[in-house]
Amino acid sequence: MQFLRAILLRLATTAVTLFGAALIVFVVVRVVPGNPIAMMLPPNATEDDVARLRALYGLDKSIMEQFVIWLGGVVQGDFGTSISLRRPVAELVLGRLPATLELSILALILAVALGGAMALLGTRWRGRRTEAAVDVANGVGMSVPDFLWGLLLILLFGVLWPLFHISGRVSPQLDLPFSTNFYLFESLLRLRFDITADLLAHMFMPSVALALPLAAIIGQLLKQSLKETMGLDYVTLARTKGYGETRVILREALRNAVLPTLTLVGVQFTFLIGGTVIIERLFSYEGLGNMAIDAVINRDLPLIQGIVIVFAALFTAVNLVVDLTYAALNPRLRHA
Amino acid sequence: MRDGRGQIRRRAGLRLWLSGGWLALVLFGAVFAPWVAPQDPLMQDLFTSRLPPFWMEGAEPGYWLGTDNLGRDVLSRILHGARIALIVAVSAGAATCLIGATLGLIAGYFRGMADIVISRLVDIWMAFPPVLFAILLIAVLGTGLTSIIVAIVVIDWTRFARVVRAEAMNQGAMDYVASAQVAGYSRLRTMLVEILPNVLPTIGALLTLEMGISVIVEAILSFVNLSIPTDDPTWGGMIAEGRQAIHQSWWVLVFPLVTLFLTVLSFSQLGEGLKDRFDPVLR
């Protein structure tokens, strides 16, 4: 019962957060200087044309009125029409979202794998050179943001040793037999591994750039809690049973050490998704973030709003899922 | 493990020296740029365009790190670019710290209504992708140095608020705070005289970290061409130009990138090092 109430409370705060985010974006976007309507019309347009177009996009009403109308639409899945691309915002955003999701999830998988490996290495050979090396690598990984990693990777694998593509999502000459925009996922389902390889050659650098800072954080925190767990009685008991050190870490300690890392990964994953904005720009990857920057440059108010709200919904959803998973995994919280 | 403490101390010392040394060098370059820069950073000369750095064939003396495709000296531009980088780092870092830490301290120590409002605001802020938020703010405020600083403060105050709030909550539950209350200190005085000094090491580490982040944010904004509207060289602007010419003249990208990399790394390592040195628990 208490568990249920906690979930309901959590859902209510999520709704408040989303509403606040929507309101702030709406107001900020409307004080943007530069008239998007003027940019759409030919130079010889009359005052009447401008007024008509403003009315068409609802820009002649007060900000609060516009907000209520927009919110009413959003609840029904109508995000308005993009001013620069003249297509429904919902359609544009949904078209790009899969690209960003695939990139973020690939980066998350890389980060967990790399960070987990670092933590296990550092724990297995703790107090030795290996652990010191892991510490230094984690320190550097954490202090350097994704944008810089992206540039360094471009130098390394784009110029010095050109192994991967430095721009785009997929080679344009490829014929894509897909019915959704989840190219990577669908290429795997349809067993078109040639396309998978091409996609991965494009996604490698952006996803590694996004993954490195998170991998370092996971590596450090997981190593810390693994080392604490290794000192507990039940681990010593496992050792006295004659289990090897590696097996003790993997089979006994890991399960208990992973919980604090999980919460952190949730928050950090939202930072990673936020990082896609500039990383997509850097690698000309056709995702949501890249479109967002164009939308700001073009003063495309409905599109900016739509994209920001989708990001905000994504972030709050990730946090919600992490909280619920944590509650489900942690018996102390479940029965509290 | 026997000499564990000594080992840690020594490493922290080396880290402090290396990061502090690099930042001192950048500061020196920024302050004395007009005197130490070998060339005018804005001077274009098509006869000296795309000169390679000094160790390569075809290099010209006086252009140590080569020139870009307009013939501007890379080293001189990096030195002058350090000015904007450091101005942004110091002013945005300090302002963000002041606002974020104050709100965090109030929320964490006074709790109640103030905490609810501030925490809810932090939640809302965390729902925005920071880079997108920054670009949006620059679109609203217009380009320019002040806009960049304001944008950084508006985006990043939550980093201080979150951490300082948690820390102030921890400190507020301790016995020494209760004794200060018993001794008749007002709540405000307790916060400033008892809590604040104990939160300072954390704030200090966050401050240097934030300075590094500010440099990056400026570089990112320059990269999408939304930083400062003048011709003044910035590291991010150089990187954006270098990215375009990467196959013809890699040095235009590499040198500003390495400078930015070392500066950001130094800021965060300096913070960690100082925290280790001044944290009474570790000492």
We report the CATH number of the domain holding residue A185 as 1.10.3720.10
Tell me if B253 and A155 make a contact (CB, 8 A cut-off): yes
| Co-location of A41 and A149 in the same domain | no
- Give domain status of residue B214, yes or no: yes
Q: Percentages helix, strand, coil for chain B, rounded to the nearest 5?
A: 75, 0, 25
What per-residue confidence (pLDDT) applies to B174?
84
Confidence of residue B189 (pLDDT cuts 50, 70, 90): confident
Is residue A208 within 8 A of residue A149, CB to CB? The reply is: yes
In this predicted structure, the answer to whether residue A3 has a pLDDT above a threshold of 50 is yes
Is B115 part of any domain? Answer: yes
Three-state secondary structure call for residue B282: coil
Task: Report d(CA B81, CA B260) in Å as an integer.
Answer: 10
At A333, is the pLDDT very low, low, confident or very high (cuts 50, 70, 90)?
low
Better-scored residue on pLDDT, B183 or B283: B183
| Whether residue A148 sits in one domain with residue A22 | no
> In this complex, do A296 and B135 lie within 8 Å of one another by their Cβ atoms?
yes
Look at residue A86 and tell me if it is in a domain.
Answer: no
Q: Distances in Å between the alpha carbon of A238 and those of A95, A234, A248, B41?
A: 52, 6, 7, 66
How far does Cα A184 stand from its chain's mean position? 16
Is A88 part of any domain?
no
CA–CA gap between residue A197 and residue A208 (Å, rounded)? 16
Of B131, B212, B253, the CB nearest to A274: B131
Domain assignment present for residue A87? The answer is no
Q: Best-predicted range by mean pLDDT among A246-255, A287-296, B196-205?
A: A287-296
Q: B263 to chain A: nearest residue by CA? A: A144
What are the backbone angles phi and psi of residue B73, rounded to the nearest 5°? -75, 125
State what percent of residues in chain B have pLDDT above 70: 94
ipTM: 0.84
Chain B CB contacts of A31 below 8 Å: 140
Q: Are A279 and A238 in the same domain?
A: yes
Number of domains in chain A: 2
Task: Output the pLDDT for position B4.
Answer: 45
With bands split at pLDDT 50, 70 and 90, how would you rate the model's confidence at B68? Answer: confident
Judged against a pLDDT cut of 70, whether residue A309 lies above it is answered with: yes
Dist CA A103 CA A109 (whole Å): 10
Contacts of A299 in chain B (CB under 8 A): 139
Does one domain contain both A189 and A320?
Answer: yes
**Is there a domain that residue B61 lies in?**
no
Q: What is the pLDDT of residue A143?
A: 85
On whether both A166 and A203 belong to a single domain, the answer is yes
The confidence score (pLDDT) of residue A32 equals 66
Q: Is residue A82 part of a domain?
A: no
Q: Do B268 and A282 touch (CB under 8 A)?
A: no
Residue of chain A nearest B222, judged by CA positions = A278
Strands (E) across B91-172 are located at: none
**A132 and A33, same domain (yes or no):** no
Q: Give the range of the structural domain holding residue A44, as residue numbers without chain letter.
A: 2-75
Are B120 and A16 an interchain contact pair (Cβ–Cβ within 8 Å)?
yes
With b for 16 or more beta-carbon neighbours within 10 A and e for fewer, the B26-65 pattern comes to beebbeebeeebebebeeeeeebebbbbeeeeebeeebbb
Whether residue B283 has pLDDT greater than 60 = no
Q: Could you identify the residue written with the tokens 């008239």?
A: A35
Domain assignment present for residue B58? The answer is: no
In a domain, A81, yes or no: no
Q: How far apart are CA A291 and CA A201, in angstroms?
A: 22
Give the distance from residue B214's alpha carbon to the nearest chain A alpha carbon, in angstroms.
11
| Residue A89 belongs to a domain | no
Residue-level pLDDT at A36: 64
> Could you read off the pLDDT of A89-114 as tens digits, one per residue?
999 999 999 999 999 999 999 999 99
Lowest mean pLDDT among A198-207, A308-317, B7-16, B80-89: B7-16
Domain membership flag for residue B65:
no
Direct distance between the N- and C-terminal alpha carbons of chain A, in angstroms, rounded to an integer: 10
What is the average pLDDT across A48-71? 79
In the prediction, which pLDDT does B2 show? 39
A184/A326 same-domain check? yes
Residue A307 and residue A232 share a domain: yes
Of A33, A143, A273, the CB nearest to B129: A273
Q: Which residue has the higher pLDDT, B58 or B192?
A: B192
Residue B13 within any structural domain of the chain: yes
- Rounded to a whole number of angstroms, the distance between the first and last alpha carbons of chain B is 17
SS (H, E, C) chain A: CHHHHHHHHHHHHHHHHHHHHHHHHHHHHHCCCCCHHHHHCCCCCCHHHHHHHHHHCCCCCCHHHHHHHHHHHHHCCCCCECCCCCCEHHHHHHHHHHHHHHHHHHHHHHHHHHHHHHHHHHHHCCCCHHHHHHHHHHHHHHHCCHHHHHHHHHHHHHHHCCCCCCCCCCCCCCCCCCCCCCHHHHHHHCCCHHHHHHHHHHHHHHHHHHHHHHHHHHHHHHHHHHHHHHCCHHHHHHHHCCCCHHHHHHHHHHHHHHHHHHHHHHHHHHHHHHHHHHHHHHCCCCCHHHHHHHHHHCCCHHHHHHHHHHHHHHHHHHHHHHHHHHHHHCHHHHCC
Q: What is the residue-averaged pLDDT of chain B? A: 85
Q: What pLDDT, in 10s, does the model give residues B3-39?
A: 444 454 455 678 888 999 999 999 999 898 888 888 7
Domain CATH number, residue B198? 1.10.3720.10
Give residue A39's pLDDT.
Answer: 62
Q: If phi over 0 gives left and psi between -120 and 50 gives alpha, with beta otherwise, what is residue B62?
A: left
pLDDT at A280: 95
pLDDT given for residue B3 in this prediction: 43
pLDDT digits 0-9 by tens, B40-50:
888 787 777 77
CA distance B271 to B221: 24
Confidence of residue B123 (pLDDT cuts 50, 70, 90): confident
What sign does the dihedral B20-B23-B28-B31 (CA atoms) show?
Answer: negative
> Which chain B residue lies closest to A128 (C-alpha atoms)?
B1
CB contact under 8 A, B132 and A292: yes
In this prediction, residue B117 carries a pLDDT of 92
Q: What is the pLDDT of residue B161?
A: 93
Q: What is the per-residue pLDDT for A88? A: 92
- Nearest CA to B236 among B155, B138, B99? B138
Q: What is the helix (H) or strand (E) element at residue B266, kind and residue range? A: helix B251-278
Q: What are phi and psi of B220, to 5 degrees?
A: -65, -45
Token match 């945005």: residue? B92
Cβ–Cβ < 8 Å for B100, B164:
yes
Total structural domains in chain B?
1
Q: What angle do CA A266, A272, A278 make, to 5 degrees?
A: 160
- Half-sphere exposure (CA, 13 Å, Cβ side) for A51? 3
Note the pLDDT tens digit of each residue in A271-298.
Answer: 999 999 999 999 999 999 999 999 988 8
- Report residue A185 as tokens: 């996922």
B257 to chain A, any CB pair closer than 8 A? The answer is yes
A90 inside domain: no
How many angstroms from the chain centroid is the CA of residue B129? 19
**pLDDT band with cut points at 50, 70 and 90 for residue B94:** very high
Residues A241, A112 share a domain: yes
Under DSSP, the state recorded for B73 is: B
Task: Indicate whether B57 belongs to any domain.
Answer: no
Regarding whether A29 and A175 lie in a shared domain, the answer is no
Q: What average pLDDT score do residues B52-72 get? A: 80
Cβ–Cβ gap B220/A147 under 8 Å: yes
pLDDT of res. B62: 76
Nearest-angstrom CA–CA distance, A316 and B254: 38
The per-residue DSSP string of B198-243 comes to HHHHHHHHHHHHHHHHHHHHHHHHHHTT-S-SSS---HHHHHHHHH
Nearest C-alpha in A relative to B249: A159
A206 closest CA partner among A240, A247, A157:
A157
User: Does A234 lie in the same domain as A127?
Assistant: yes
Mean pLDDT of chain A: 85
Q: Is B41 contained in some domain?
A: no
d(CA B185, CA B179): 9
What's the CA gap between B188 and B53, in Å, rounded? 58
What per-residue confidence (pLDDT) applies to A1? 63
Report the gap between the CA of B139 and the closest CA in chain A (Å): 6
The rounded distance, in Å, linking the Cα atoms of A179 and A171 is 18
In order of A181, A286, B224, the CA distances from A169 in angstroms are 11, 6, 20
pTM as predicted: 0.87
Whole-number pLDDT of residue B153: 93
* Residue B249 DSSP code: -
Which of A75, A104, A120 is a domain's end point? A75
For residue B168, the enclosing domain spans: 2-34+70-278
**Is A300 contained in some domain?**
yes
